[in-house]
Amino acid sequence: MNKFKFILLFCIILILSACSHPAAQKQLFAMDTYMNFNVKGKNSQEALNKICDEIFNLDIIFDRNEKSSELNTLNQSKISNVSDELLDIIQQSIDISEQTNGAFDITLAPVLDLWGFYNQNYKVPSDDELKLSLNKIGYKKIYITGNNISLDNTEIDLGGVAKGYAADKTIEILKEYNIESAIISLGGNVYALGNNDGKPWQVGICDPFNTEKNIGIVEVENKAVITSGVYQRNFNYEGKFYHHIIDPKTGLNPNNNISSVTVIGSNSTECDALSTAFMVMGIDESAKFLINRDDLGVIFITNTNDLYVTYNIKNYFITDNTVNFINE
Ligand code: ADP
Ligand code: MG
């Protein structure tokens, strides 16, 4: 098991330890990560069976490294008629690109390939290589007419949003089965449905400098808690540290001091995309974005281990560390 997978598994175990007497549990490996589902109530097993089918179905559609996947077909042929799911995730992603001035951009695939993040064959691209690939980046290169999508000299990578989308689909299925209490973790993308025997669910926020520890917990009900961090996929080269979040404007790691961002909100797709976007935007630009978004809670951890937290979560974020509030 590589370090990345071990860290995810550890964080998940911490989360599971918060669950009492689950009616049904399931663990699986999909979308290149470990997923855990803890569901309480009648029909739990039936709901979990349907969830597994749905997750594997989405994995087959979204995996751009799988030759026969729908996304790979679109990337290679540049035009195709896509399923409702692929259309939906691409449309939601473009929406967030527009809101974040392109900090989140699913057309980053050509640059991600240069860095080797898709197959862990890491390398630092040359300036010339980056320049060529940056010409292929831009969410405005995606054209949509009905279910028909065409790509103008670009390719799509859904790594920054696929797990959040799968979490939303999971919650939809749980609601179809009238499940009122569950906690799910898709590679650290958590959703807490309802409550845990009358108490809020407790979700650990990983310490990016010691991923076997939590830096705090949030107490939540009916919320997604989604983290992007530099510790999730990274490598060192000639004494420098590189990680898997890329600024679409430069093709490089963002030039800021953020180690992880957790976004808490009701929609997992949005929280997943925004956690990646805020890693790129840094605290000041994200704070401006958040002025009109009191429905979102955000925890930034800097690379000096300082905490910057939106004021609206002060009553349910519990930590021993000093907290600096933003948008107070
Ligand atoms: P993880 O998948 O590790 O939970 P994220 O949700 O932050 O973390 O997604 C990171 C992944 O998103 C990268 O591995 C890459 O595939 C993709 N990505 C990196 N930078 C961006 C970006 N600026 N916009 C959209 N996708 C990105
Ligand atoms: Mg993300």
Query: What is the secondary structure of 236-300 as a DSSP string?
Result: EETTEEEES--BTTTTB--SS-EEEEEEEES-HHHHHHHHHHHHHHHHHHHHHHHTT-TT-EEEE
Measure the CA–CA gap between 187 and 267, rounded to whole angstroms: 17
Say which residue, 231 or 246, is predicted with more confidence.
246
Q: What is the mean pLDDT of residues 181-193?
A: 96
Mutate to test the pocket of ligand 1, among 106, 233, 245 (most ligand atoms within 8 A of CB): 245
Does ligand 1 come within 6 angstroms of the Cβ of 159? yes
Measure the CA–CA gap between 289 and 99, rounded to whole angstroms: 8
Residue 320 has pLDDT above 80, yes or no: yes
Output DSSP code: residue 196: B
Q: What is the mean pLDDT of residues 90-104?
A: 98
pLDDT number for residue 23: 82
- pLDDT tier for residue 188 given thresholds of 50, 70 and 90: confident
Phi and psi torsions of 283, nearest 5°: -70, -50
Ligand 2 mean position, distance from CA 159 (Å): 7
**149: which strand partners?**
80, 144
Does ligand 1 come within 6 angstroms of the Cβ of 105? yes
Q: Which atom of ligand 1 is nearest to the CA of 277?
A: 23
Ligand 2 mean position, distance from CA 258 (Å): 15
Q: What is the mean pLDDT of residues 316-327?
A: 96
Q: What is the mean pLDDT of the chain?
A: 92
Say which residue, 263 or 233, is predicted with more confidence.
263
Q: What is the mean pLDDT of residues 129-146?
A: 97
- pLDDT tier for residue 232 given thresholds of 50, 70 and 90: confident
Q: Which atom of ligand 1 is nearest to the CA of 232?
A: 3
Q: What is the mean pLDDT of residues 304-309?
A: 96
pLDDT number for residue 71: 98
CB 154 within 8 A of CB 136: yes
Does ligand 1 come within 6 angstroms of the Cβ of 272? yes
Residue 3 has pLDDT above 60, yes or no: no
CB 188 within 8 A of CB 233: no
Q: Is 72 helix (H, G, I), strand (E, B) or coil?
A: helix
Does ligand 1 come within 6 angstroms of the Cβ of 160? yes
Ligand 2 mean position, distance from CA 163 (Å): 8
Output DSSP code: residue 115: H
- pLDDT tier for residue 12 given thresholds of 50, 70 and 90: very low
- CA-based diameter of the chain, in Å? 58
Phi and psi torsions of 92, nearest 5°: -65, -35
Does ligand 1 come within 6 angstroms of the Cβ of 106? yes
pTM: 0.93
Q: Which of the ligands is closest to the CA of residue 228?
A: 1
pLDDT number for residue 16: 44
pLDDT number for residue 231: 86
Residue 2 has pLDDT above 70, yes or no: no
Atom 12 in ligand 1: residue holding the nearest Cα: 160
Q: Which atom of ligand 1 is nearest to the CA of 246?
A: 20
Q: What is the pLDDT of residues 40-69, one digit of tens each?
A: 999 999 999 999 999 999 999 999 999 999
Q: What is the mean pLDDT of residues 218-240?
A: 94
Residue 216 has pLDDT above 50, yes or no: yes
pLDDT number for residue 112: 95
Count of beta carbons in the 10 Å neighbourhood of residue 322? 7
Say which residue, 8 or 285, is predicted with more confidence.
285
Measure the CA–CA gap between 270 and 284, rounded to whole angstroms: 20
